[in-house]
Chains A and B, each alone.
Chain A
Amino acid sequence: MDYPADRMYTETHEWVAVDGENATIGLTDYAQKELGDLVFVGLPEVGDELVGGEPFADVESVKAVSEVISPVDGTVVEVNEELLDNPALINESAWDAWLVRVEPASIAVETMDAPAYAESCAQ
């Protein structure tokens, strides 16, 4: 499995790509594989405040619901509405299927770089 090097990873299997004050958050490919076919995504709204370490979205596969934990503190400025109608995009391409963009955002949980995350998933 390839882990893009342009972003950071959490132990709860989110990825976060930081660009200046803007952060984009998604689920890792490992997470989507563990969850299986996703059939529902619940997302916050633009303007919502995210708190690092707190859940901000939920994703559901046929069998299970899982919370998505925010790696950052900040305000939601954009939501990937496409996922609402087509949650399977996360299964198809977890690295492209971002959930929200946050700005200004500051990393508020421990993160790993790609090699460290790859290693933790391999364990």
Chain B
Amino acid sequence: MEKKTPLYDVHLAAEGKIVPFAGYLLPIEYPTGLMKEHLAVRNACGLFDVSHMGEVLFEGPGALATLNRLMTNDFSDMAYGRCRYTALCYEDGGMVDDLIVYRLDDERFLAVVNAANKDKDVAWMADHLLDDTVMRDLSDEIAQIAVQGPLAQTILARVADEAALPSAYYTFEPHVAVAGCDCLVSRTGYTGEDGFELYCAPAEAPALWEALIGAGAEDGLVPCGLGARDTLRLEASMPLYGHEMDETVDPMEAGLAFGVKMGKPGFIGKEAIAAKGLPARTRIGIEVTGRGIVREHEPVFADGKRIGTTTSGTYCPFLKKACAMALVETGSAEIGDSLEVEVRGRKVEARVAPMPFYKRKR
């Protein structure tokens, strides 16, 4: 039985097309339609219910050591109010999840994990806590709303003190009053745009949502569903767990070396990753040059030889072309190389494209 987010009734009232996703009932799109929702985020602003995401608090004198042991990134030098992306690995280097860690203070960290992985993550992390660390799953106590797009700050500033908002990417403010609601606000997102993610008490989420719509509708803010969330992240070449990563893929293969600190003392998966040396596979970007749309799980060929498999693919509404990502044998494809992808028995022409496919102008 899927759970409802605190905004479920709001989505129904807005005629969102509700689907089960990661154990939750969420809108895949609203009557606006996926394409317009996607473009609203690129050109103005979009609002997303991401309350399904999991939030796990680590606290205690051992919290920092626990995170440094559990996760691939290094949190030692992290200032309060910073966010950091990291992988969570098994001993063999395969990924349990990818997540963002927020440093609240000296002994408290909030980890934001994928909804589909939350139970698995919590079980894995609970088994590997070091001493003096308490872990609490706060997922049911926190709602999350993402405000994404070039006008996100302008619109938020109408319902919050602009000076109180986090000013730098991957930072947060623990207490910001947004339309009278106490929120943790971070400058983060999953769309390739500037934007914010607001964490608040579930009971306050509907009023917050309506206030944001009221503040932004005149400038083109629209509520966006899971469909646009996926096309936006793919257009921005952001990996998604279950697609570009899973328990058989290590973070180096997934192109996440920036979040793996091999120089820090032992973390789970480090030895296996070090022993592999150069990753066997590499995540590449693919732009379709022929006719058709490439989706996930489709065979990729270079010079007639199978080199890998697509992990995600769709039509990118802003770029107006079909793009995909794939895991291929390392060294088998360079940027600009011609490829073929087999789509339902038919070979579609493509080429290796630089990532990100879309990068916003600053």
Question: What is A's interface to B at a CB cutoff of 8 Å?
Answer: 36-37, 39-40, 42, 58, 60-63, 65, 84
Q: Cβ of B199: which chain A residues have Cβ within 8 Å of it? A: none
**B267 interfacial by beta-carbon distance below 8 Å:** no
Is there contact, CB below 8 Å, between B35 and A37?
yes
**Given A40-B293, A42-B292, A58-B344, A63 and B227 touching (CB < 8 A)?**
yes
Is there contact, CB below 8 Å, between B291 and A62?
no
- Secondary structure dominating the interface of B: mixed
Instruction: Return the contact of B295 from the options A36, A37, A42, A65 (Cβ within 8 A).
Output: A65
**B189 interfacial by beta-carbon distance below 8 Å:** no
**B5 interfacial by beta-carbon distance below 8 Å:** no
Task: Identify which of A37, A42, A63 gathers the most chain B CB atoms within 10 Å of its CB.
Answer: A63
Question: What is B's interface to A at a CB cutoff of 8 Å?
Answer: 28-29, 33-35, 38, 227, 230-231, 291-293, 295, 314-315, 317, 322, 344
Is there contact, CB below 8 Å, between B33 and A40?
no
Is there contact, CB below 8 Å, between A37 and B34?
yes
Question: What is the CB-to-nearest-CB distance from B30 to chain A, in angstroms, rounded to a whole number?
Answer: 11
Instruction: Return the contact of A63 from the options B28, B291, B292 (Cβ within 8 A).
Output: B28
Across the A-B interface, the 3 shortest Cβ-Cβ residue pairs: A39-B315, A37-B35, A62-B315
Q: What is the number of contacts between chain A and chain B, taking CB atoms within 8 Å?
A: 39
Interface pairs (5), CB distance under 8 Å: A36-B35, A40-B291, A62-B34, A63-B34, A63-B227
Task: Identify which of A39, A58, A65, A84 gathers the most chain B CB atoms within 10 Å of its CB.
Answer: A39
| Residue ID in chain A nearest B295 by CB atoms | A65
CA distance in complex: A72, B291 (Å): 27
Q: Cβ of A37: which chain B residues have Cβ within 8 Å of it? A: 33-35
Instruction: Return the contact of A40 from the options B230, B292, B317 (Cβ within 8 A).
Output: B292
Q: Cβ of B29: which chain A residues have Cβ within 8 Å of it? A: 36
Question: What is the CB-to-nearest-CB distance from B228 to chain A, in angstroms, rounded to a whole number?
Answer: 9
Given contacts A62-B231, A63-B314, A65-B293, 8 further A-B contacts (CB under 8 A): A36-B29, A42-B291, A42-B292, A62-B35, A62-B38, A62-B314, A62-B315, A63-B227
CA distance in complex: A22, B106 (Å): 77
